[in-house]
Amino acid sequence: MIFILQKTLIFTIPLLIVALAGMFAERSGIINIALDGIMIFGAFIGAVVTLLLRQNVPFFVDHNQITFVVAMLAAAVAGALFSLLLSVSAIKFKADQTIAGTALNLLAPAVALFFIKVFTSKDQLEMGTAVDSLGQRHDFGYVIQNKEATGIFAVLFDKAYISTFIALALFIILSIFLYKTKTGLRLRACGEHPQAADSVGINVYKMRYLGTTISGALGGFGGYLYIATVANGTASGAVAGMGFLAMAIMIFGNWSPLGVAFGSLMFGFLKCLSVVYNQIPFTKGLPLPMYFYNIIPYLVVLIVLGFSSGKSRAPKAEGIPYDKGTR
């Protein structure tokens, strides 16, 4: 049971961060369908930074946690910068946000694979010391290994990633920011009724840039977490559709932090099941092919969205370009 919870948490954290990314953009009124592309770009930059630090600076070879944190910051900055392509096109030029996001989803893997091929002559970039989804290699990224921990403490403190604690802290901070600060209130107002927000002196354009930039930073951060903790420490220009799955979680969670957290945990468990099913006595004995478990998370997404989309309430102004002259 502890093993399953540990692995569920590994899949849950990237989904949680990226679903929060989508939520911040849409709460400001911008549809960020480019989450998958932002994850890929952030993952690529994070992998490059990790590799460069570990190959050229001896200090970082002996301090894996610091390397991990620096790479996470680099991935977040890269994601924020990449998201400017979406925010500028959507806010300044009032382009169709769905088309702009789709273009970024096509651009990111092409750019990542091009530079990976140029610099390594391979189809993927390995960060040096890999961490696979089953925790077989764990000298990079793990902050604590305490085999004596039991119960919930074993889930959090045995073979735990430092990114888990950073992500949980971010979840709390961003939830407080969105609901308990003036800036958070203004950002939400711009996603609901930008004309009313503008009438009381709120700069709608500024708030939408802020929401999209936060979204990009979280998306890049989540992309790096995915390759570091799930994808064997390898950047390959793909994130297995995790960005789109995070969007589904955001809708399922009704654009609220708690709903997103619950959805991330549920789908994190399903993703975990698709990987470790052959290590669980019950599922191992079932005469089902591997592919069945691989499609379960996405099949459940379709079913859940089919039943819950009618009850979901998206921000009223999402996807609608703001025109200051329109009332």
Residue 20: count other Cβ atoms within 10 Å of its Cβ.
30
User: In terms of Cα–Cα distance, which of 145, 125, 148, 127 is closest to 135?
Assistant: 145
Contact between 33 and 103 (Cβ < 8 Å): no
Taking CA atoms, 29 is separated from 190, 221, 302, 317, 325, in Å, by 6, 22, 24, 5, 17
Residue 176: count other Cβ atoms within 10 Å of its Cβ.
12
CATH number for the domain running over 2-308 = 1.10.3470
Nearby residues of 265 by Cβ (< 8 Å), 6 or more positions away:
8, 12, 16
d(CA 175, CA 163): 18
How do the domains of the chain map onto residue ranges? 2-308
Residue 300: count other Cβ atoms within 10 Å of its Cβ.
15
Residue 154: count other Cβ atoms within 10 Å of its Cβ.
19
Q: What is the DSSP letter of 201?
A: T
Per-residue pLDDT of the chain (327 residues; tens, 9 = 90+): 677 888 888 899 999 999 999 999 999 999 999 999 999 999 999 999 998 998 888 888 777 788 889 999 999 999 999 999 999 999 999 999 999 999 999 999 999 999 999 988 888 988 865 443 334 444 455 455 555 555 665 556 666 788 888 999 999 999 999 999 999 999 999 999 999 999 999 999 999 999 999 999 999 999 999 998 888 788 999 999 999 999 999 999 999 999 999 999 999 999 888 888 887 777 777 888 888 888 888 898 888 888 877 778 899 999 999 988 766
User: In terms of Cα–Cα distance, which of 305, 146, 167 is closest to 226?
Assistant: 167
Three-state secondary-structure class, residue 43: helix
